């Protein structure tokens, strides 16, 4: 595999499992030095680091809450000292607290908005400082079809993902002249620990709405990330791209 990202530093939030893990391994395989951000899963994060080391890649673990401004600032400062400036940022960290609005607590709302949306704001703000200095950068935000269509029982999550979509388009317009692209990916039903817990009837219903008649894999999202951070995608910005098998 061509090491086209050699010399680049890529920070992926929420990279201890699922989509974030697949992205981290893929970018490492392309030669990037990878920062594996995570919050709770120490053993799983270490396994991602081991997997990257096994393919000859360079990676660094950074345990930090992306919703905490001080923690995010500290993380980027440490990364700069240990690996160098961040060239590629993938805002992947996200949580859910699903329930209907009248049952939703203020904590349910705040937790999702803070991690899923505020985290994107905080990390992007820090990453842009170095990207602007070097007039090059790639930012990928992980959104969701819920941010475009809404979803019953997910008003907090849908609002956060819709915010990410608007944020992506706004920042792309702010920094485009500086050779920095900002795009979002909206994964559909991707097989992860989170989706494995869903009832079978829910999985069957979702599958009936996917023209390709299969669920996606984390690698399907990682493939698109690899393209969007490459020079082949240098004229693509402010886009929201679905990886959903044609979900309708």
Catalytic positions: 157
Residue 117 is classified by DSSP as I
The Cα–Cα gap between 236 and 222 comes to 17
What is the rounded distance in angstroms from the CA atom of residue 4 to the CA atom of residue 205? 40
**Gap between the Cα atoms of 138 and 133, Å rounded:** 13
Nearest to 191 by CA among 216, 219, 213: 216
Q: Which two tokens stand for residue 46?
A: 């270490």
C-alpha span between 73 and 122 (Å, rounded): 8
Q: How far apart are CA 160 and CA 116, in angstroms?
A: 6
Distances (CA, A) of 27 to 114, 207, 225: 27, 29, 8
């Amino acid at each position: 595999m061509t090491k086209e990202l050699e010399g680049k530093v890529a920070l992926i939030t929420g990279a201890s499992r699922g989509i974030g893990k697949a992205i981290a391994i893929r970018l490492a395989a392309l030669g990037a030095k990878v920062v594996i951000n995570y919050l709770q899963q120490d053993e799983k994060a270490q396994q991602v680091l081991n997997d990257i080391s096994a393919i000859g890649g360079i990676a660094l673990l950074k345990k930090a809450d992306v919703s905490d401004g001080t923690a995010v600032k500290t993380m980027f400062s440490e990364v700069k000292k240990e690996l160098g400036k961040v060239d590629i940022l993938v805002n992947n960290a996200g949580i859910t607290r699903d329930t209907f609005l009248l049952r939703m607590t203020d904590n349910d709302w705040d937790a999702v908005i803070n991690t899923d949306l505020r985290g994107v704001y905080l990390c992007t703000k820090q990453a842009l400082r170095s990207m602007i200095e070097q007039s090059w950068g790639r930012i990928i935000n992980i959104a969701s079809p819920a941010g475009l269509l809404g979803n019953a029982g997910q008003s907090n999550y849908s609002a956060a993902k819709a915010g990410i979509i608007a944020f992506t388009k706004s920042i792309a317009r702010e920094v485009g002249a500086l050779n920095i692209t900002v795009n979002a990916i909206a994964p559909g039903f991707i097989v992860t620990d989170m989706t494995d817990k869903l009832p079978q009837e829910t999985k069957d219903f979702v599958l009936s709405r996917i023209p390709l008649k299969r669920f996606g894999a984390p690698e399907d999202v990682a493939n698109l990330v690899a393209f969007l951070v490459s020079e082949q995608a240098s004229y693509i910005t402010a886009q929201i791209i679905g990886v959903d098998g044609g979900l309708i």
